[in-house]
């Protein structure tokens, strides 16, 4: 809540109140006595003079009425958001090959999916004005989270993503098909699929090329990301001798990923480490900008009556006391 004074200069009159009280303090009445010798022997009281209460009441009354004259107001701010954002579907590979330990977080080897989830989470946080959804794919492909403004809900669904939840194979065409089916009727100024995989399409009923042509028909752009180190990647396996590392050749179908991106006017990226993956999502963030217009307005409510009424009551109380209990001898 915002507080303001319509006439702020009048607040300066508060500094005049002490002077006004000093000038109106009065000298009190006098009575003639034949002798005041006995009164002089009475010890002087250290208590506050009762008539100072009248000055205090008058001072408070003046302060309240001055503040009332300055017209205090309380306002509540409202904002209205007009967003021409981007609808983004995040398509993530959860096949068994995402278990490869060729990426690092805080200097420790971790599986590919853990790094992807962290980087994607940061990407979501940077785009509060866009609707986003999540598709996971392996042998099958399905919507993990539909397109939504609720990024908190999306983040919760992202946390639940696990390796193998859609099977161990890789159905890139199906992932694109499911994403396009959910996005084809949306009215956003730009519709984008960010597809991340570490392998080549070896499952699904539709080829990646056919799915990409379908995306192009509906004006949906696809950014493709190939993830994985060059050469062989380490996997942690357990056998009769306990856990051990085995190395397998990285098998990313970069030609197909490039073809998908080119066909839909998107781009292809290759991430070989955690920093590079973060840079890729940062670059996509810059490429797909959102237009947001914010309208802010404030409603103010008058508060002067909350000050004027107590001020008048204090002034009335001062007058009553001055003519009764604290009456001055003339």
Query: Would you list the DSSP string of 223-237?
Result: EEEEES-SSEEEEEE
Picking from 217, 295, 225, the residue whose alpha carbon sits closest to that of residue 257 is 225
Domain region containing 278: 87-289
pLDDT at 85 over 80: no
Whether 6 and 140 share a structural domain: no
Within a domain: 176: yes
Let me know if residue 91 belongs to a domain. yes
Does the pLDDT of residue 25 top 70, yes or no?
no
Residues 143 and 161 in one domain: yes
Query: What kind and span of H or E run contains 59?
Result: helix 52-69
Contact residues for 293 (Cβ-Cβ < 8 A; gap 6+)? 81, 82, 83
Give residue 265's region: left, alpha or beta (phi > 0; psi -120 to 50).
left
- Give the number of other Cβ atoms within 10 Å of residue 31's Cβ: 6
Residues 237-278: tens digit of each pLDDT: 777 777 877 888 778 999 999 999 999 999 999 999 999 999
Considering the domain architecture, whether residues 219 and 239 belong to the same structural domain is answered as yes
* Secondary structure (3-state) at 110: strand
Q: Which of 289, 306, 322 is the last residue of a domain?
A: 289
Is residue 126 domain-shared with residue 175, that is, in the same domain?
A: yes
Q: List pLDDT tens digits, range 125-177.
A: 999 888 999 999 999 999 999 999 999 999 999 999 999 999 999 999 999 99
**Cα separations in angstroms, 329 against 44, 302, 325:** 20, 43, 11
137/72 same-domain check:
no
Kindly state whether residues 150 and 200 are assigned to the same domain.
yes
In a domain, 37, yes or no: no
> What is the pLDDT averaged over residues 208-237?
92
CATH number at 250 reads 3.40.50.410
Q: What is the predicted pLDDT for the residue at 238?
A: 78
318 and 238, same domain (yes or no):
no
Question: Binning pLDDT at 50, 70 and 90, where does residue 57 land?
Answer: confident
């Amino acid at each position: 809540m915002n507080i303001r004074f319509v006439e702020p200069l009048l607040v300066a009159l508060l500094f005049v109140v002490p002077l006004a009280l000093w000038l109106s303090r009065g000298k009190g009445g006098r009575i003639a006595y034949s002798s005041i010798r006995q009164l002089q022997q009475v010890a002087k009281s250290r208590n506050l003079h009762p008539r100072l209460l009248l000055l205090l009441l008058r001072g408070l009354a003046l302060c309240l009425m001055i503040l009332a004259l300055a017209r205090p107001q309380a306002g509540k701010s409202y904002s209205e958001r007009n967003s021409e954002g981007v609808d983004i579907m995040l398509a993530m590979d959860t096949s068994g090959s995402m278990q490869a330990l060729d990426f690092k977080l805080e200097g420790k080897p971790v599986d590919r999916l853990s790094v992807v989830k962290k980087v994607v989470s940061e990407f979501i946080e940077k785009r509060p004005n866009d609707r986003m959804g999540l598709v996971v794919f392996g042998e099958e492909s399905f919507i993990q989270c539909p397109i939504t403004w609720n990024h908190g809900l999306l983040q919760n669904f992202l946390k639940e993503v696990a390796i193998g939840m859609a099977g161990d194979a890789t159905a890139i065409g199906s992932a694109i098909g499911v994403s396009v089916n959910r996005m084809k009727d949306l009215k956003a100024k730009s519709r984008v699929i960010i597809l991340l995989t570490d392998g080549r399409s070896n499952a699904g009923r539709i080829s990646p090329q056919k799915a990409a042509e379908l995306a192009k028909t509906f004006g949906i752009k696809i950014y493709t990301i190939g993830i994985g180190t060059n050469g062989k990647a380490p996997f942690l396996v357990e056998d009769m001798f306990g856990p051990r590392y085995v190395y397998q050749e990285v098998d990313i179908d970069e030609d197909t990923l490039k073809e998908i991106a080119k066909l839909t006017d998107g781009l292809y990226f290759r991430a070989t480490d955690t920093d590079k993956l973060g840079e890729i999502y940062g670059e996509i963030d810059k490429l797909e900008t959102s237009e947001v217009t914010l309208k802010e307005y404030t409603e103010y409510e008058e508060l002067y009556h909350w000050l004027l009424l107590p001020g008048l009551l204090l002034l009335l109380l001062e007058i009553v006391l001055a003519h009764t209990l604290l009456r001055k001898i003339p």
